[in-house]
Structure 1
Amino acid sequence: MKRFLFLLLLVCQLVNLSAQNTTYFYGRDKVQSKNETAALYSVQIFDDYTYVTIELVPTKNRSRMTFFTSPFTYIQAESVKLPFLGALSSDGTSYHSCTAYENWGWENVKKGEAYHYTLVFSGRIPAGITNFSLIDDYSEYHGYCFRNYTVNNPNTNATTYDEVSVRQNIDMNNDGIVGIYEGINEQGYKLGCIKHDNTYYFIYLGSKTNKSWWKVGDVKAILRPSATAGLFKADWYMEDKSTNSDVYVIFERGQMKTIMPNEETGYLKMYPSSSPSNANTPSREAQKWSGSGFALFNGYITTNYHVIEGAKSIYIKGIKGNFSIPYEATVVASDKHNDLALLKINDNRFSGFGNIPYRVKIATADVGEEIFVLGYPLTTTMGDEVKLTTGVISSKTGFKGDVSLYQISAPIQPGNSGGPLFDGQGNLIGIVNAKHTQAENVGYAIKTSYLQNLIESVTSSSILPNNNQVSEMALTGKVKTIKNFVYMIECSNQPSSSNNRASYNAYNTNNNDITVNNPIYAAVRNNGALKITQVQVSDNYTKIKFEYTNLYASDGWCSIDPSAYIISNDTGKKYSMIRAEGIPTSPQAHYFSRQYEKLYFTLIFPALPKNTAQFSFIETEDSEWRFYNIKLQ
């Protein structure tokens, strides 16, 4: 019942917030002058303007009655001050200045009849402010003033949430996005991101600057999902509670960023805590982040230490240009001081990188040499296609004269970390690791001699590629040849379900192993085709691996419903999905770039009881992604 009441309250709020043209009526205190009586008649509040209408009633018949207001008029509502723009024209399409010298008014007015004029002010009175004054303080002449009125201006953003109930919602819906975030700008909003009926809301919990009209529990934003995981558009309620629907919200690696025209604000996630003191406490929060890396011989990959720091599972995507298959990797060696990590792919599906076309050059490059960078920056907004930037070696030393670094002019962004730095001939001369946040197009890269030192500390055989096959190519040819050896490194603070591979009893299934009561339908979404390739059962998990083929010529997509489950045919007990790997959960979706493209993904469920003979997989009762009577041998 509590969830229903909250939903009903939010629906009512959305209706109220969209009704911007409501007229708010006030008390009828009047200002008496010699020739007329003036009263504050009405106020209309819009997103960008506030209209105040004044009523004049002549006390006698007059040939002419005028109205005027000085340019120094303003609205004062608590600490909010709205400047005067002018008087609204009679047809309501424009506004004009109305000083005493302009003689605005009416001819042949009648005693006792009401005449109205409307003043226009920039901005809005924020919802929840109920005190109001119209002030004209100009000493030479001024119009009517109305002080200390009470406005019927309810707080339409209000909910019953406080920080305690926000934390309770986060604990129940902890998916890595919900949490309490604090802004790092001067306003310093403290916002609780909660999830209700598959919709995310930001709840106002405080700020560094006192805004009396913002109350704890007010809705600050309503998020709308995009086709990219972690990226949302938002209906964002600004400081004055006007609506801005052109706001983007990005969640990535325990941080949040809001992007609106001419403004970008970062937020730190403060709850749930991931501090070392809680390291041994089970947490439902899953955080993912990504960087870049590149191939060395024998399945080795280089990236930055800070990319894999804190990761309990690491996956490599983009091998041979295929982003649908993530390959599991482990850390072989790391150098925290020089920000380097050496990984090796540990996945039985891996068949090698192919012929690596570049040479790792150890000699120091010269200032002025042309360079280019490849990597995967800001994948939540820029996609998973490799990105190229170019520039020159600006200095042989890095930040504060660090001799282990180059300073480069090629633009780099978060996600470029760990990517390769090439000279103009296509020799690999550095590993990108940092951007100077206080300067334009100033980045840093670790010299390859430090990578050589790390490699020699853990392996006696050389794994550094030494054959440059691209030196005579144009830049376009170099990029086309090299890009399949530059990879996206995806990390998570959650352990891989296959970390203890030896503990699994693997049950391979094929079409002969699956007895079907009903036909096995793959999702009819875009005429796709789905099949199970393997089932793995351990004491802790049941893993089902799938292959999905997009048979649609264009616009193919797929996702998995988070309510998917398996059911034991022996006991009839249901086991809900724990997580999905390699496929988004709805309402997010994976979009295919071509017909017949394949997607390989794995769904993780609780362990089936030992000696289970058959089980069934059902996405939802309405879905055609259903497999019945899957045999376990």
Structure 2
Amino acid sequence: MQRNLALIPALLLGLLAGGDALGQGKPPPSNVPEARSGFPPLPTSKPPALAPGQQAGPAGKPGAPQGGGTGRMVSSGTGFVVAPGRALTNAHVVERCQAVRVRTAAGTDVAARVLRADRGRDLALLEVPAEAGPPLAFRRQMNIRRGEGVVTYGFPLAGMLSSGPTLTTGEVSALAGLADDQRQFQISAPVQPGNSGGPLLDLGGNVVGVIVSKLNAARVAQRTGDIPQNVNFAVKGNEALDFLREAGVTPTLRDTPPRTAAEVGETAHNSVLFMRCMG
């Protein structure tokens, strides 16, 4: 079993952060409280190169609510509002950022501050301006079933694909993650680097998970001779709820009848944030 677990980092692709902010084996910033430790950082993909003469965006000091000086985007991801002035994303999206910037659905670029990170669950809580968007509601009963339809909403492959959010659909494939990780779901909805930290929604538009990683199909093919398809992972919604409550945040809970995927996307749109890690 330990030998199989040792292969896990090789089978995952970048935890879906769209950049190189993680590196290997370095600790999180000392000014970010951590609930649990021991989650190994995994490699991330490089951001697109700047065109000749193109300037990187502003960056701020660690933990500061406002940007300062100049810097470059070293990774990007997705987050979503969970309470007034509070947003949720993956810990690996914001780990070791000199500053974090978020773009709201209204197109406003604002600074965010990491309040709490849990590397075991790979979740982070951020302080954002109150006008960042309305909170997304979580599903009241997390009785998720295999085959249940789900929707993702986020910002994959920033700088290559649409600058706006992308919606994908799929199903819950398994009720555990890689190596039977009970904190995660396996899903078939397509995700890419940059989707990290985005909401996994049921067909009622309620949050049931947080997108976190995907299987590295190329490496699996090298080992098995077969290319796996649509093997992706999300942190379970009950893990996210526990994390938020431990941080003193009271999420909104609801049960909503199923709707179309387009309607789910419209519900999520104003609450989902494009996140940039500045270095």
Under a length normalisation based on structure 2, what TM-score does the superposition of the two structures give?
0.68
Query: What's the counterpart of residue 200 of structure 2?
Result: 421
Cα drift, residue 440 of structure 1: 1.7
Mapped partners of 1:309, 1:401: distance in 2: 25
Query: What's the counterpart of residue 299 of structure 1?
Result: 85
Determine which of 233, 236, 240 is the counterpart of 1:447.
236
Letter in 2 for 1:466: L
Higher relative contact order (CA 8 A, sep 6+): 2
Q: Are residue 431 (structure 1) and residue 210 (structure 2) matched?
A: yes
1:16-51 Cα deviation digits (max 9, x unpaired): xxxxxxxxxxxxxxxxxxxxxxxxxxxxxxxxxxxx
Between Structure 1 and Structure 2, which shows a larger proportion of strand residues? Answer: 1
Cα drift, residue 419 of structure 1: 0.5
1:280-295 mapped onto 2 (5 Å cutoff): 286-295=72-81
1:565-584 mapped onto 2 (5 Å cutoff): none
Query: What's the counterpart of residue 115 of structure 2?
Result: 332
Q: Are residue 372 (structure 1) and residue 159 (structure 2) matched?
A: no
Letter in 2 for 1:353: G
- Contact kept in structure 2, 1:433 and 1:445, CA below 8 Å: yes
Cα drift, residue 353 of structure 1: 2.2
Percent identity (aligned): 28
Query: What's the counterpart of residue 466 of structure 1?
Result: 253
1:146-184 Cα deviation digits (max 9, x unpaired): xxxxxxxxxxxxxxxxxxxxxxxxxxxxxxxxxxxxxxx
Cα drift, residue 298 of structure 1: 1.7
- Contact kept in structure 1, 2:152 and 2:198, CA below 8 Å: yes
- Contact kept in structure 2, 1:366 and 1:393, CA below 8 Å: yes
Mapped partners of 2:209, 2:74: distance in 1: 26
3-state SS of the aligned residue for 1:380? coil
Mapped partners of 2:119, 2:140: distance in 1: 22
Q: Are residue 402 (structure 1) and residue 181 (structure 2) matched?
A: yes
- Tell me: CA distance 1:357–1:300, structure 2 relative to 1, closer, same or farther (3 Å): closer
Mapped partners of 1:231, 1:481: distance in 2: 34
- Tell me: CA distance 1:286–1:466, structure 2 relative to 1, closer, same or farther (3 Å): same
Query: What's the counterpart of residue 261 of structure 1?
Result: none
Q: Are residue 412 (structure 1) and residue 199 (structure 2) matched?
A: no
- Contact kept in structure 2, 1:362 and 1:429, CA below 8 Å: no
Mapped partners of 2:240, 2:277: distance in 1: 21
1:64-103 Cα deviation digits (max 9, x unpaired): xxxxxxxxxxxxxxxxxxxxxxxxxxxxxxxxxxxxxxxx
1:321-360 mapped onto 2 (5 Å cutoff): 321-323=105-107, 325-345=108-128, 347=129, 350-351=130-131, 353-354=133-134, 356=135, 358-360=137-139
Mapped partners of 1:476, 1:286: distance in 2: 34
3-state SS of the aligned residue for 2:100? strand
Mapped partners of 2:176, 2:211: distance in 1: 14
Letter in 1 for 2:120: H
3-state SS of the aligned residue for 2:241? helix
- Contact kept in structure 2, 1:362 and 1:449, CA below 8 Å: no
- Contact kept in structure 2, 1:362 and 1:448, CA below 8 Å: no
Determine which of 254, 267, 271 is the counterpart of 1:481.
267
Cα drift, residue 455 of structure 1: 1.8
- Tell me: CA distance 1:298–1:357, structure 2 relative to 1, closer, same or farther (3 Å): closer
Cα drift, residue 467 of structure 1: 3.7
Letter in 1 for 2:162: G
Between Structure 1 and Structure 2, which shows a larger proportion of helix residues? Answer: 2
Under a length normalisation based on structure 1, what TM-score does the superposition of the two structures give?
0.31
1:14-163 mapped onto 2 (5 Å cutoff): none
Cα drift, residue 304 of structure 1: 0.3
Cα drift, residue 383 of structure 1: 2.6
**Rg (Cα) greater in structure:** 1
